[in-house]
């Protein structure tokens, strides 16, 4: 029984390593705040989207929209990236954009990635920014939302585990009251 929590942790974490699978008309939104990483590096604000290797579709097109604060605003910049050919299993493809002036001087922003055609695996977003003498950097993983089937499965496993757990013996007086 002590192995069950480790197995559940492994299964739930292994799913998060896969990134987010996007199909046509699906999108994923990164809403980020950049942490301080050290003194300024004199670099332009840059954002890079990373696509995982082992993609199901070999040809796909992604639209990447960069927003200053919210997806309700007009994008600061929109990029369309078309990939042809396979991505090897343990490699990544990066698509980056540099900004001058920076859209994220308040150290937070939003990036939306959408599939226009084909199917691909979205892995992460890397953002860097130099502001007021400081260097701010963050790598933000694309975390898949759990499916309804996964939630039902793990809920059912939890109920079975609770049912199969040995119960302490009930006191004789309590047992007698329940029968009579």
Q: Where exactly are the structural domains of the chain?
A: 3-145
Confidence band for 7, pLDDT divided at 50, 70 and 90: very low
Are 43 and 128 in contact by the 8 Å Cβ rule? The answer is yes
**Residue 111 · residue 99 · CB < 8 Å:** no
| Domain 3-145: assigned CATH number | 2.60.120
DSSP state of 165: S
The pLDDT, as a whole number, for residue 165 is 77
Q: What are phi and psi of 112, to 5 degrees?
A: -115, 130
Cα–Cα distance, 22 to 27 (Å, whole number): 7
Which pLDDT band, with edges at 50, 70 and 90, does 16 fall under? very low
pLDDT at 149 over 60: no
* Measured CA angle at 72 (ends 69, 78), to 5 deg: 75
pLDDT given at position 57: 64
Q: Which residue has the higher pLDDT, 25 or 171?
A: 25
H or E segment to which residue 4 belongs: helix 3-17
Structure tokens at 133: 């003498």
**Structure tokens belonging to residue 94:** 């990066």
What is the DSSP pairing of strand 120-131 with strand 45-52? Answer: antiparallel
State pLDDT tens for residues 52-62.
876 666 889 99
Residue 70: strand, helix, or coil: coil
Q: Which residue has the higher pLDDT, 150 or 46?
A: 46
Is the pLDDT confidence value at 152 over 80? no
Q: Residue 96: its pLDDT value, please?
A: 94
Model confidence at 28, in pLDDT bands (50, 70, 90)?
very high
Enter the pTM of the model: 0.73
- As a whole number of angstroms, the distance between CA 124 and CA 116 comes to 18
CA distance 107 to 68: 10
Please give the Cα distance from 100 to 175 (Å, whole number).
76
**What are 91's two structure tokens?**
């490699």
Cβ-based burial of 125 (10 A; exposed 0-12, middle 13-18, buried ≥19): buried
Q: What is the rounded average pLDDT for all residues in the chain?
A: 82
Q: How confident is the model at residue 132 (pLDDT cuts 50, 70, 90)?
A: confident
Which pLDDT tens digit goes with each residue over 70-128?
Answer: 999 999 999 999 998 888 878 889 999 999 999 999 999 999 999 999 988 999 999 99
Kindly tell me if the per-residue pLDDT of 150 is higher than 90: no
């Amino acid at each position: 029984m002590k192995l069950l929590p480790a197995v559940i942790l492994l299964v739930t974490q292994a799913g998060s390593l896969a990134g987010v699978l996007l199909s046509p008309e699906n999108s994923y939104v990164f809403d980020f705040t950049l942490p301080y990483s050290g003194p300024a590096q004199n670099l332009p604000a840059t954002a890079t989207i990373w696509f995982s290797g082992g993609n199901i579709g070999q040809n796909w097109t992604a639209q990447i929209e960069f927003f200053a604060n919210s997806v309700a605003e007009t994008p600061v910049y929109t990029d369309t990236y078309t990939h042809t050919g396979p991505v090897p299993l343990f490699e990544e493809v990066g698509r980056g954009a540099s900004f001058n002036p920076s859209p994220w001087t308040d150290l937070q922003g939003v990036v939306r990635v959408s599939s226009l055609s084909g199917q691909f695996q979205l892995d992460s977003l890397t953002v860097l920014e130099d502001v007021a003498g400081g260097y701010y950097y963050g790598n933000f993983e694309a975390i898949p939302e759990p499916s309804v089937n996964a939630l039902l499965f793990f809920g059912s496993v939890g109920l079975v585990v609770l049912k199969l757990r040995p119960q302490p013996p009930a006191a004789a007086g309590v047992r007698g009251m329940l029968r009579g």
